[in-house]
Amino acid sequence: MARAALKAAPAEEPETESGLTEGGDASKFHDHLSIRHKSRQKPPRHLADMTREEREQTVVDLGLPKFRAHQLENHYFAHFSVDPKDLTDIPAVQRQSLANRFFPKLITPLLTRTADNGMTIKTLWKLFDGARIESVLMRYPMRTTLCISSQVGCGMGCPFCATGMLGLTRNLSAAEIVEQVREAAKLVRDGGIAGGPARLSNIVFMGMGEPMANYRSVVSAIREISALPPLGFGISARNITVSTVGVVTGIKKLAKENIPVRLAVSLHAPNDTLRDELVPMNKRFDLETVMDAAHDYFLASKRRVSIEYALMRGINDQAVHARQLARRINGYGDDWAHVNPIPLNPVEGSKWTASKPEDEAQFIRILRSAGVTATLRDTRGNDIDGACGQLAARYFAEHPEDEAQFGAFDSIKKAPETC
């Protein structure tokens, strides 16, 4: 398809900062915050929510010299430490109160599951208000990757997804995102994952939530994850991937941030009719608008875009779909995108189930013979409710007393799979 023939993006684009997106009621997605949202308190303010100036001002307000803020940054970002006992360069009498002020407990592990001979660790975290999120740590021969959440639940409403069935509860603060990274970086450094001590090298925003619907906190977290110590963890921005279901406003903003993160677009369908059904956000930003934005991101960042494509048996995994997808990608030129077909977990009795191996192989063969690079994505942790939302679903099934707090979770107990 010639680029010139592509449909132009809408002139006026809705803001998506708050998770509330205009038109949410008119479409199938439930991208509105939960009814209890207004009564929810904000997470306590944490060092990772503050600018350097705000940290300095906070210690000055406590009657302490500015450099105490720099010492705290160093403990947090360079040593992953929040324990007052570790603040040995700060007078003993000040340690506890500074830790209370700068390092409030934001995330607490509720449930941990291990798979792949200890190389995959999935954690269900409890937040300060009782909300739950998940993260997954995966060790590979050359890297260690953490998949993190950006929201509690997700409002995008993809019908095949456990998290989508939760709906959106609230956005995470920047520090709630950064804390997932600090906990994992510490665990990996201390040899808490099979294979011995190592360094957390890669971050993917592919856990619960749509990162572009919590844009400000996500970008602030990315800056702290990638800045060099003592202002960040020093994980290269080139090793950070931000995944979106196609929130074009967010893709455009991210392209202007000048941070070389990789963009991943969860496409899941090669035409609008099918994508309208699988990804309700497609009714807001259609396939051409999303592909235009993804290609523009490639031009701006010079980084290949990942196209995520969950293969669902008999739904989007046939030869015709692979050919359509290849045509769409090639319409923008060569070597700008890499397709990651993702096998779904087979779940008995579900409409959304895994492709047949021969269909997966055929899908990849067609893409490759059309000159599109494609790699079947590794599905780490499938035996531990590996997909986002599934561990939360399991937890609520086992702890019905907690379920009342969050309302209707029945549907996700049976939910087949997610992104």
* 198 close to 139: Cβ distance less than 8 angstroms: yes
Residue carrying the six token digits 């907690």: 402
Residue carrying the six token digits 């800045």: 227
Among 47, 124, 392, 419, which residue sits at the site for ligand SF4 (rule: CB under 6 A)? 419
Binding to ligand SF4 by residue 161, rule CB under 6 A?
A: yes
Closer Cβ to ligand SF4, 144 or 266, answer by number: 266
Cα–Cα distance measured from residue 70 to residue 105, given in angstroms and rounded to the nearest whole number: 20
Binding to ligand SF4 by residue 19, rule CB under 6 A?
A: no
Binding to ligand SF4 by residue 306, rule CB under 6 A?
A: no
The site for ligand SF4, by CB under 6 A, has a size of 13
Stretch that binds ligand SF4, among 68-76, 161-169, 225-233, 257-265 (CB under 6 A): 161-169
Say how many C-beta atoms besides its own lie within 10 A of residue 54's C-beta: 12
Q: How far lies 175's CA from each of 61, 74, 235, 253, in Å? A: 21, 16, 16, 21
Closer Cβ to ligand SF4, 235 or 281, answer by number: 281
Binding to ligand SF4 by residue 158, rule CB under 6 A?
A: yes
**Residues 263-282 as x/- pattern, contact with ligand SF4 by CB under 6 A:** ---x----------------
Give least dist CB 193 to ligand SF4, A. 24
What part of residues 195-234 is at the interface with ligand SF4 (CB under 6 A)?
Answer: 210
3-state secondary structure 193-258: CCCCCCCCCEEEECCCCCHHHHHHHHHHHHHHHHCCCCCCCCCCHHHEEEEECCCHHHHHHHHHCC
Closer Cβ to ligand SF4, 19 or 230, answer by number: 19
The gap from C-alpha 324 to its chain's centroid, in whole angstroms, comes to 27
Closer Cβ to ligand SF4, 202 or 418, answer by number: 418
Cα–Cα distance measured from residue 96 to residue 82, given in angstroms and rounded to the nearest whole number: 10
Among 156, 203, 251, 384, which residue sits at the site for ligand SF4 (rule: CB under 6 A)? 156
Catalytic, 388? Answer yes
Catalytic, out of 147, 388, 417, 419: 388
Measure CA of the first residue to CA of the last residue in the chain; give whole Å: 27
Cα–Cα distance measured from residue 207 to residue 107, given in angstroms and rounded to the nearest whole number: 15
Q: What is the DSSP letter of 401?
A: H
Catalytic, out of 134, 183, 308, 360: 134
Catalytic, 134? Answer yes
Residues assigned a catalytic role: 134, 388
Residues that bind ligand SF4 (CB under 6 A): 154, 156-158, 161, 163-164, 210, 245, 266, 388, 418-419
